[in-house]
Chain A
Amino acid sequence: MSSSPTSTLVDVTMPQMGVSVAEGTVVAWRVETGDRIEADQTICEISSDKIDTEVPAPASGVVAEILVPVESTVEVGTVLARIATGDGGPVASPPQSLDGEPAGPTRTETPSPSPAPQAPSTARSGNGHRRYSPVVQRIAAEHGIDLAQVPGTGRGGRVRKQDVLAFVESAPVEEPPLHIESPYRPDPVSAPVVSGDGLSRMRRQIGEHMKRSLDTTATCTTWIEVDMSRVEAARKRLGVTGLAFVARAVIDAIREYPALNAWLDGSEYTRHTDVNLGIAVSLGEDGLIVPVIARAHELSVEGLAARIRDVAKRARARELTPDEVRGGTFTITNPGQYGSIMATPIINLPQVGILDFEAVVKRAVVLTDAGGNDSIAIRPMTILGLSWDHRALDGALSAQFLAAVKRNLERV
């Protein structure tokens, strides 16, 4: 959509988000071409390596052009969009034509060729000149509506209940992210339905591997609750993750119950002396990979933490070598950073066990002291889930193994 010769175009550029940041990615547009926008209102969300932020509109006006699509990464200073200030006539969408706002000279001055400085618009943008009734504010809050976008048909352009209800019905707003730092982003509206053919090669491989495991193994899952008080204290002291402690506790438990550190391939059962520990690493939408920390039993908690950090980083950078994802004898999966508390993991063939470590959650628990007296305390608790292959071992052994892991973690 082109701009009118009577209006001035203002560029919206990719801002510098940090000293060392040279580029940024457009995560979402909050406006569409033709939308009216007020100065300082968020026009889009952007993301750099680690930082997500919002780009405010540099001026009030109408969005004339959007130049950078969502998910595109561009250099700092690149023009993302242009805002036509002033009249805005050529791009005004039909709802705006009904808009008789009190301080808005935009309509009455339509025929005027004046470049319309920002002053009249900013008078409104301070939020002080447009008031909303309780019910209008409530409906807007419930539906996440920016009331500045709603044309008012009440006296003096006031936004009435029916206006905001009509806005809700006519223009369902795009679902916002749950939180600016949330990894969740709504699916693009025009996203095509993903067909079987649309799956990536990695996805297909994961699917085949998982299905083969379920078809082959006699999978059973056992859970145990663990008091993570000592781990929490120790990991803060050492500056490492809880996962490293769980890994060490698992290795020590494997020493007691080596039946878990084994392969069962068809009818061939092999116990291993070395613990080659697989750590599941999520690659986001692409899938999941399990790099293996060879001879993990030789590493301390700090050593494990460093290795886990290293393989996870290189896994996400797609820098793992084929050797690094082979030869695992036992696997740990740790999706708990999202708050989930239990899962039934699928055994990573030909291994016979996989341990699931989820979120650590504060809970009220009953403690019994040496004298047999009960009391209630707040403790950081987690639930460890062990999926094991009933062809290779039995439930009693898996429970004993979990109890050993629990004991190791509670004695840290």
Chain B
Amino acid sequence: MEWVLLWGGSLMPTLTYLQAISAALRDELRADERVLLMGEDIGVFGGAFKVTDGFVDEFGTERVMDTPLAESGIIGTAIGAAVVGMRPVCEMQFSDFISCGFDQLVNVAGKMHYRQGLAVPITVRLPSGGGFSGGPFHSQNPEAWFMHSPGIKVVAPSTAEDAKGLLHAAIHDPNPVCFMEHKHLYRRVKGEVPSGVFETPFTARVAQPGSDLVVIAYGAMVPVALEAVSDGLDGASVEVLDLRSLVPLDEEAILDSVERCSKVVIIDEANQMCAAGAQVAALIAEKGFESLDGPVVRVATPDVPIPFSPPLESAVLPGVDRVREACRELLAY
């Protein structure tokens, strides 16, 4: 069992990734009066992606707050509320917009514990990623910005069950947590999700066991990896490791996979430079060197803004073909 059942829960309904996020928020609002939601158009409109559709009717405008278009204000207000005991969950309409709230998150929330000894239990939901012609302002994967900033945790689910379990764990966590929810997975990924409040630990998960090569991915790149290796790659046994959490990074699980498989392909949908996968590659180079049987191979988005044009966008984002080719090359090495 990868999750811990805290209370309730019996049947396992099948939910989409988006419904799982909604269910987690609803369960938290019902279970804990300290939880409140803040964001642009999350109330009456139900959110840009309808994650909070109908919430305002059940919980009222004081717990499902429509805010001005000011991410700095949203996060700053949430920090203040958290310091006095609330458990705010902020929605960035698109993760790209968090740059406007960067200072509050990185310099205030992330350092509060170190400077004042105060916990800032806020969760910032970041609908991220491309694949739908959203263009350069609506398609980014900014998780590495926050990985680089001490004091902030970063998680990125790839399944409906993990989306719910990680969101519960993020809300319960006493630290600021960036919850990277991938827009492309919202309605494409479905799965059985336990009802009730449960926590998914901030650890990696073997999505598919194997022994010849491991593909390390997170978020929307997990289904890409699974599809890329689904045809067996000429009979090779390929493992897929879903990181789930980027901060903390599950070093033990990564090194365990590397030790068993000895060949590694790391996928980032984010731009390649200093992406999460770069940290994973550095970790392997330092602590898994003696297990390696080939170069650590990365597949990532080139260092360009995400193009609006559909053919250009699909050319830059790591797809099934690129991942499969990288695996074939490395297996043959």
User: Which residues of A are interface residues toward B (Cβ below 8 A)?
Assistant: 133-136, 138, 154-155, 158, 160-162
Contact = CB atoms under 8 A, between A and B. Distances in A.
Nearest to B295: A133
A135 B332 contact: no
A133 B293 contact: yes
A135 B333 contact: no
A226 to B, nearest CB: 45
A35 to B, nearest CB: 25
B102 interface: no
A98 to B, nearest CB: 15
Q: Which of A133, A138, A155, A162 has the most CB of B within 10 A?
A: A133
B262 interface: yes
A134 B290 CA distance: 5
Contact of A160 (B289, B290, B333): B333
Interface of B: 212, 262-263, 289-294, 332-333
Given A135-B291, A160-B333, 19 more contacts: A133-B262, A133-B292, A133-B293, A134-B289, A134-B291, A134-B293, A135-B262, A135-B290, A135-B293, A136-B293, A138-B290, A138-B291, A154-B332, A154-B333, A155-B332, A158-B333, A160-B294, A161-B262, A161-B263
B333 A161 contact: no
Contacts of A154: 332-333
Contacts of B263: 161
A134 B332 contact: no
Contact of B292 (A134, A155, A158, A162): A134
12 contacts: A133-B292, A133-B294, A134-B289, A134-B290, A134-B292, A135-B290, A138-B290, A158-B333, A160-B293, A160-B333, A161-B263, A161-B293
A199 B332 CA distance: 56
Contacts of A134: 289-293
Contacts, number: 29
Nearest to B259: A135
Contacts of B333: 154-155, 158, 160
Contacts of B294: 133, 160
A154 B292 CA distance: 14
Q: Which of B212, B292, B294 has the most CB of A within 10 A?
A: B294
A158 B263 CA distance: 14
Contacts of B290: 134-135, 138
B95 to A, nearest CB: 38
The 10 residue pairs across chains A and B that have the minimum distance between CB atoms: A161-B293, A133-B293, A135-B293, A135-B262, A161-B262, A134-B290, A134-B292, A138-B290, A135-B291, A134-B289
B34 to A, nearest CB: 50
A162 B332 contact: no
A155 B331 CA distance: 9
A136 B292 CA distance: 8
A288 B139 CA distance: 85
Contacts of B332: 154-155
Contacts of B293: 133-136, 160-161
Nearest to A136: B293
B64 to A, nearest CB: 53
Nearest to B332: A155
Nearest to A133: B293
Contacts of A161: 262-263, 293
A155 B290 CA distance: 20
Contacts of A136: 293
A53 B168 CA distance: 69
A331 B291 CA distance: 56
B289 A162 contact: no
B283 to A, nearest CB: 15
Contacts of A160: 293-294, 333
A135 B212 contact: no
A292 to B, nearest CB: 58
A159 B290 CA distance: 15
A328 to B, nearest CB: 57
A188 to B, nearest CB: 35
B214 to A, nearest CB: 13
A285 B293 CA distance: 45
A146 to B, nearest CB: 19
A337 B242 CA distance: 57
Nearest to A160: B293
Q: Which of A135, A155, A161, A162 has the most CB of B within 10 A?
A: A135
